[in-house]
Amino acid sequence: MAKNSEHDDVEPSLVRPYALTEGRTLPSIDLPMEAIIATIEDAPAPRLAPEDTRSGIIALCERRISIAEIAAHMAVPIGVVRVLVADLVVAGTLEIHATLRSDATRVERRELIERTLSGLREL
């Protein structure tokens, strides 16, 4: 059978998400999908290969971004992102920012919902 494109020999990998998290399905800390994540300014950069998924996560987190948005941008399942982000938070590379304060305005609450929905749509 002739190959029609360079993508013909690429098969979906069912093992990849499992391998990325070393078989873990739950993050070590509570991370809701709307949690805002950012890099810690003075944190030492971990030694990761550029193609490592965690490197991409760190690069995205240079601006504040939600777990849902990270998953959408990286095209990685949200469960995998939650596990990897939790690892990076525990390692001191990333930090979690409060999504909303208790005195958040209606506009701030609406913006959070819109950002979360946007991230989910991209998944």
Q: Choose among 23, 36, 21: nearest CA to 81.
A: 21
pLDDT higher than 70, residue 70: yes
Q: Name the pairing type of β-strands 65-66 and 94-97.
A: unpaired
- Cα→Cα distances 102→25, 52, 98, Å: 31, 37, 10
**pLDDT confidence of residue 119:** 65
CA distance 83 to 25: 7
- Hey, what CATH topology would domain 27-122 get? Arc Repressor Mutant, subunit A (1.10.10)
Domain ranges, ordered by start, for the chain: 27-122
Q: What is the per-residue DSSP string for 68-100?
A: HHHHHHHT--HHHHHHHHHHHHHTTSEEEE-S-
Average pLDDT over every residue of 90-95? 94
Query: CB under 8 Å to 95, separation ≥6 — which residues?
Result: 37, 38, 39, 40, 89
For residue 37, give the 3-state DSSP assignment: strand
Average pLDDT over every residue of 22-28? 80
Is this prediction's pTM over 0.75? no
